[in-house]
């Protein structure tokens, strides 16, 4: 970016007074959310899928210099299994685990991929509500493992995202309301028809499948640990939240892996859909209502996942909100590059954490609250690429392929 002229990006920060002490174990602070065995099984299963390869961890020294921090590492999930987002390792993995549990016995990934159980799996229906990427992952998982998928979307989901999900053979149902209404509609139809909900959020009596989703996300963090330089320490992770499954998985993995040396987790949300921010201030799960009409549609959630929240309430150093303009600016920063940084395609929801970092660095009060200085070494999870190429081009001014070609 030749001219660094950021717009006014108000950042609201709440430093968490309930952050667990460094010496406290994950098991003591948040029991039954994620565990080492769950992460290990997910990694073994997912790495056996065709097309698996680690996504890159890209360094952004030019942007780090501009922001006055020590380093920025950006985990670029845009190429994950050709689906364009990290959720490929979440929803599809939960579909796999459901089918394995349903069929019983020692049902392998290889047998399901080969269609050896197709006579039974084709009569199984999975369903979910989605803002886009999770539904695509569930639809893809249903397609490759041989069952039926019904996907619920709300009025804020773009036609481009709807078509991308439908391309995997899923039946699409659009709800004329917000994300949380689509969750309720999906659950009601599943109960009536005997379908299995594959959700990344939890409720009373429904926790195991969202745990599979979160364990699937751990694959990403295992790759990050392998990609960091020897003895390199991450001081902060800025990570976007929808219902909370992604940040909870990241925080849980790092807590188990690094214990007292774990980095500061900063949960970032759109100011128009800030259920974690409001829950943090209230000290308990607190829904936000209304249209939730943020540009970051993948984060347009009004209610936290209770299970994820039980971990984030103890694991998060801070919560913050950013305006939609911050996401657009972050997308442009990645697309244009600063000081020799490579150009990256980041989608509007996928750059939420980066938007938070930029906004936090530009606001002196936020910068001090978040302990950002020249020694900070920051991990960003770039959770999606241009999953809606038309919208991406409208926001950035260039098509995704033009950015990559440059």
**Structure confidence by residue, pLDDT tens digits, 187-236:** 999 999 999 999 988 988 999 999 999 999 999 999 999 999 999 999 99
* Residue 371 and residue 264 in contact, taking contact as beta carbons nearer than 8 Å: yes
At 194 the pLDDT is: 97
Count of C-beta atoms within a 10 Å radius of residue 120: 14
The answer on 379 and 321 residing in a single domain is yes
**Residue 39 clears pLDDT 80, i.e. is over it:** yes
Residue at 7 is within a domain: no
Residue at 3 is within a domain: no
Q: What is the CATH number of the domain that holds 279?
A: 3.40.50.1100
- Cα Dmax for the chain: 61
| 102 carries an active-site annotation | no
| 131 carries an active-site annotation | yes
132: confidence class by pLDDT, cuts 50, 70, 90: confident
* Residue 32 and residue 252 in contact, taking contact as beta carbons nearer than 8 Å: no
How far, in Å, CA of 18 to CA of 315, rounded? 9
How far, in Å, CA of 313 to CA of 283, rounded? 8
Count of C-beta atoms within a 10 Å radius of residue 56: 17
How far, in Å, CA of 75 to CA of 311, rounded? 22
Average pLDDT in the 126-152 region?
A: 94
Q: Bridge-partner residues for 126, per DSSP? A: 149, 196
How far, in Å, CA of 203 to CA of 198, rounded? 12
The answer on 183 and 275 residing in a single domain is no
At 366 the pLDDT is: 97
DSSP state of 33: S
Residue at 296 is within a domain: yes
* Residue 139 and residue 151 in contact, taking contact as beta carbons nearer than 8 Å: yes
The answer on 72 and 120 residing in a single domain is no
The answer on 102 and 62 residing in a single domain is no
**Structure confidence by residue, pLDDT tens digits, 234-277:** 999 999 999 999 999 999 999 999 999 999 999 999 999 999 99
Q: Bridge-partner residues for 73, per DSSP? A: 59, 379
Cα–Cα distance list, 62 to 2, 4, 21, 71, 99 (Å): 12, 12, 34, 9, 46
The answer on 270 and 399 residing in a single domain is yes
Residue after which a domain boundary falls, among 199, 234, 265: 199
The answer on 319 and 387 residing in a single domain is yes
406: confidence class by pLDDT, cuts 50, 70, 90: confident
How far, in Å, CA of 392 to CA of 317, rounded? 31
Domain extent for 333:
12-86+209-405
DSSP state of 206: B
Indicate the number of domains in the chain.
2
Q: Looking at 75, 76, 87, 388, which residue is catalytic?
A: 87
At 364 the pLDDT is: 96
Average pLDDT in the 357-368 region?
A: 97
Residue with tokens 């948040």: 30
In order, the DSSP letters of 118-182 are HHHHTT-EEEEEESSHHHHHHHHHHHHHT-EEEEEEETTS-HHHHHHHHTTT-EEEEESS-HHHH
Count of C-beta atoms within a 10 Å radius of residue 245: 25
Given phi > 0 = left and psi -120 to 50 = alpha, else beta, which region is 51? left
The answer on 265 and 284 residing in a single domain is yes
Q: Helix crossing, 306-315 with 245-258: angle to 10°?
A: 50
How far, in Å, CA of 182 to CA of 242, rounded? 14
Rounded to a whole number of angstroms, the CA Rg of the chain reads 20
How far, in Å, CA of 31 to CA of 307, rounded? 10
**Residue 2 clears pLDDT 60, i.e. is over it:** no
In order, the DSSP letters of 42-74 are HHHHHTTSTT--PPPEEE-HHHHHHHT-SEEEE
At 160 the pLDDT is: 84
The answer on 82 and 95 residing in a single domain is no
Residue at 6 is within a domain: no
Residue at 135 is within a domain: yes
The answer on 269 and 251 residing in a single domain is yes
Q: Looking at 76, 131, 180, 341, which residue is catalytic?
A: 131
**Residue 368 clears pLDDT 90, i.e. is over it:** yes
At 290 the pLDDT is: 85
Residue after which a domain boundary falls, among 171, 199, 227: 199
How far, in Å, CA of 324 to CA of 301, rounded? 15
Residue at 360 is within a domain: yes
Structure tokens at 255: 């807590």
In three-state secondary structure terms, 218 is: helix
Percent of the chain clearing pLDDT 90 (strictly above): 87
At 178 the pLDDT is: 84
How far, in Å, CA of 190 to CA of 194, rounded? 6
In three-state secondary structure terms, 232 is: coil
Residue with tokens 């599979």: 212
The answer on 29 and 42 residing in a single domain is yes
Residue at 1 is within a domain: no
Residue at 288 is within a domain: yes
Residue after which a domain boundary falls, among 132, 165, 199: 199
At 248 the pLDDT is: 98
* Residue 344 and residue 406 in contact, taking contact as beta carbons nearer than 8 Å: no
At 3 the pLDDT is: 63
Structure tokens at 211: 């745990």
The answer on 98 and 58 residing in a single domain is no
The answer on 236 and 189 residing in a single domain is no
């Amino acid at each position: 970016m030749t001219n660094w002229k950021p717009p006014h990006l108000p950042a609201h920060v709440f430093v968490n007074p309930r952050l667990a002490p460094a010496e406290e174990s994950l098991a003591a602070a948040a029991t039954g959310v994620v565990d080492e065995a769950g992460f290990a099984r997910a990694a073994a299963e997912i790495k056996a899928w065709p097309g698996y390869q680690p996504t890159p961890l890209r360094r952004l020294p030019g942007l780090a210099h501009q922001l006055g921090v020590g380093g920025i590492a950006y985990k670029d999930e845009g190429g994950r299994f050709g689906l364009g987002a990290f959720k490929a390792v979440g929803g599809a993995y939960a579909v796999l685990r459901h089918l394995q549990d349903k069929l019983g016995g020692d049902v392998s990934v290889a047998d399901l991929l080969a269609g050896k159980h197709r006579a039974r799996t084709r009569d199984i229906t999975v369903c979910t509500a989605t803002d886009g990427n999770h539904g695509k992952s569930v639809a893809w998982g249903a397609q490759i493992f041989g069952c039926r998928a019904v996907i619920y979307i709300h009025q804020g989901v773009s036609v481009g995202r709807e078509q991308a999900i439908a391309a995997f053979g899923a039946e699409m149902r659009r709800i004329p309301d917000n994300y949380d209404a689509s969750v309720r509609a999906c659950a009601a139809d599943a109960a009536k028809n005997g379908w299995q909900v594959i959700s990344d959020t939890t409720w009373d009596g429904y926790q195991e499948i969202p745990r599979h989703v979160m364990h699937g996300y751990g694959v990403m963090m295992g790759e990050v640990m392998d990609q960091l330089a020897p003895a390199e320490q991450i001081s902060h992770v800025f990570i976007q939240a929808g219902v909370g499954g992604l940040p909870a998985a990241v925080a849980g993995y790092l807590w188990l892996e690094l214990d007292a040396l774990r980095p500061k987790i900063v949960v970032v949300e759109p100011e128009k859909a800030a259920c974690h921010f409001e829950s943090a201030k209230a000290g308990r799960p607190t829904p936000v209502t209304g249209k939730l009409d943020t540009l970051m549609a993948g984060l347009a959630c009004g209610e936290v996942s209770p299970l994820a929240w039980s971990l984030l309430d103890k694991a998060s150093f801070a919560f913050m909100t950013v305006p939609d303009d911050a996401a657009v600016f972050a997308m442009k920063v990645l697309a244009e590059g600063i000081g020799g940084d490579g150009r990256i395609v980041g989608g509007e929801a996928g750059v939420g954490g980066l938007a938070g970092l930029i906004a936090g660095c530009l606001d002196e009060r936020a910068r001090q609250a978040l302990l950002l200085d020249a020694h900070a070494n920051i991990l960003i999870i770039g959770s999606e690429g241009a999953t809606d190429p038309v919208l991406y081009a409208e926001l950035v001014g260039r098509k995704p392929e033009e950015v990559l070609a440059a």
